[in-house]
Amino acid sequence: MAIQYQQNITVFSGRTKSLMKWRLHLFRYHKFKRRPPMGLRMSVVPEPDNPYDPNALTVEMPGLEDLPAQVRNVVTDPKRGTTVKSLAGKCIGRLPGSLASVLSHMSSEIELEGMTCVAKGPPCPSFFPWPLMHQKGGGAVIPCELHVRATHNKERAMAKLQEGFGDMGPEKAVLTLH
């Protein structure tokens, strides 16, 4: 069964693992003002000290020692003079809360092995179903692709995703599940 929305989620299955890919937008660019380089794999980690969301997940740049030497001096934001190495180890943004909640539940039930994120475009204004650019909670977002590796097969991962999407609010209107 395919649920069609505006952005893509695809689940790939290997021998013993499933790789799930999401197209989504990172939030809080307007707060962090850190533009990541396109194509660089970043870590997705829990933010347990977030006072507003116990399931919050942040996207963090790799540490300096983990950055390829050829990209360290690349300027990602000419206006601010930001280079890749100046972003090393820093938070870039957060996953949408409803998706973070689904992934948190999947983590406890499906044993997720890890999550990474890759920027796919420059920051852009937030859009429905989230608050608009100048509304409370709105701001610039970063288009990206989320990669999630689970230990179970594709069918089980898909079932958990469909279950989680059923519980989402209007945010599911910008996700696709294949």
Assign 65 a pLDDT band (cuts: 50, 70, 90).
very high
Average pLDDT over residues 64-81: 94
Separation between Cα atoms, residue 121 and residue 14, nearest integer Å: 28
pTM above 0.85, yes or no: no
Q: Which domains does the chain have, with CATH numbers?
A: 15-171 (3.30.70.2330)
| Residue for token pair 């429905």 | 128
